[in-house]
Amino acid sequence: MERCVIVGGADINNYGFIREKLCADDYVVFCDSGLKHLEQLQAKPSLIVGDFDSHENPHLDVETIVLPCEKDDTDTVYAVKEAINRGFDCFLLIGVVGARLDHTLGNVSILLYLDSLGKKATIVDDYSEMEIVSNEPVYVCDQYAFFSLLNISGIAKGITIENAKYPLNNAEITCEYQYGVSNEVTPGKNAKITVKEGKLLLIKDRV
């Protein structure tokens, strides 16, 4: 099955970069104010979801799920759960990181949720790409200026980083001491990251 792309309402400035991440066969879900990106992304919506408190319902000839304004799930979380119910295993989230820190942190936690279900997921914004490192090695190529590893789940032990400026061997990063920020890939190599227990948020910075 094709990948599901979730479009949120956070600002996107570098549309050219984001468009390069999209594929013709993506299943694209626009969430409420994410519809403001419709024209610039040049992506045909497969599904529209929202309570439409921050963007008018465009009443397009597209399947639309209208949600109540008062609910436990944000529009973005609802969209992710709906896509899971429709059988998607691979996700790209865009327009979900921005000025609203509460929404940003909530959306980053979606990566943890999807990882717990064995789904692959990435958040892409104007400057970086984010994913979870858990039970499988993750590699970072040297096209990225920096990469950071953050403990956002409470447990992150047995961390090993190879082919990087600041390597680690069987280390631990705690939520109270996030020393895994701004590492660099060894030129010409791919950094390899593994964690034996827990999860890490990997942020790959392009600039």
How many C-beta neighbours within 10 Å does residue 30 have? 31
Query: Which of 193, 197, 196 shows the shortest CA–CA distance to 180?
Result: 193
User: Structural domain boundaries of the chain?
Assistant: 4-126, 133-205
Look at residue 1 in the predicted model and tell me its pLDDT: 64
Look at residue 69 in the predicted model and tell me its pLDDT: 81
Low-confidence ranges of the chain (pLDDT < 70): 1
Look at residue 199 in the predicted model and tell me its pLDDT: 96
Indicate the CATH number for domain 4-126: 3.40.50.10240
Cβ neighbours of residue 109 under 8 Å, at least 6 residues apart?
152
Q: State how far the Cα of 84 lies from the Cα of 4, in Å rounded to an integer.
A: 9
Class of domain 133-205: mainly beta
pLDDT digits (tens, 9 = 90+) for 40-76: 999 999 999 998 888 888 889 999 999 988 888 899 9
Q: State how far the Cα of 133 lies from the Cα of 156, in Å rounded to an integer.
A: 10
Look at residue 153 in the predicted model and tell me its pLDDT: 92
